[in-house]
Amino acid sequence: MKNCIILLLVATSLLTCKSGTGSKSAGQSLFNGKDLSGWHVDVPELDKNPQAVSPFLIRNGLLVSMGNPNGHLITDAIHQNYRLEVEYRFAGKPGNCGVLVHASTPRALYSMFPKSIEVQMMHQNAGDFWCIVEDISVPEMEKRRGPKEKWGITEGKERRIVNLTDGTEKPLGEWNIMKIECLDAEVKVWLNEVLVNHGFGATATKGQIALQAEGAEVEFRKVMLTPIKKISE
């Protein structure tokens, strides 16, 4: 009888462990720390200037966007329903950069930006949404996007949706942690554990992920993707 009880306890323990492991989705690093495997570069200047050099490189185990020439580093794979955790900092003078989610058609805007929804990393504006030939909605749209008649997703339209907070970025030189969750038509963004944007009704629900080169040198030490089935509170 005692042996049966022990066997039952062991079996229950193993089942619990197996169930617990199965309930957690494993994260996948999109950057291996060595090269740009799994990514491709789209920089228009490289097409017309044989002397131009890609702005994306590996330095001391970090993924670096040098900022110029402008362009994008884009995943080869298409992703859907995920949490993306990005740790980044401006290596020198602060400026502009961003993460693009649900990216698809290349050079769809200004012959530069792929069709996508941008989560802004620009210094003092991190967490803004920019609509790039895709759209998304947020509460208080007119307050955060401007007059409705000016809204749009193409050149000359009001494409920016201002984030919810100020002062959430770390001091220059320190690492920022941005978490982006995309589930169906919803996109939710945290910066350094503070909710900075939450959109719904996105016109795209899957696509590639892209990092920008847009004028400022930015270092990335983590680009981690985890499948999700529910948006975090």
Q: Binning pLDDT at 50, 70 and 90, where does residue 24 land?
A: low
Predicted model pTM: 0.89
Is a pLDDT exceeding 60 seen at residue 198?
yes
pLDDT tens per residue across span 40-81: 999 999 999 999 999 999 999 999 999 999 999 999 999 999
CATH class, domain 28-227, is: mainly beta
Task: Return all residues near 6 (Cβ < 8 A) that are at least 6 apart.
Answer: none
Domain extents in the chain: 28-227
pLDDT tens per residue across span 136-183: 999 999 999 999 999 999 999 999 999 999 999 999 999 999 999 999
- Classify burial at 70, counting beta carbons within 10 Å of its beta carbon; exposed 0-12, middle 13-18, buried 19 or more: middle
d(CA 133, CA 121): 19
First to last CA, the chain: 47
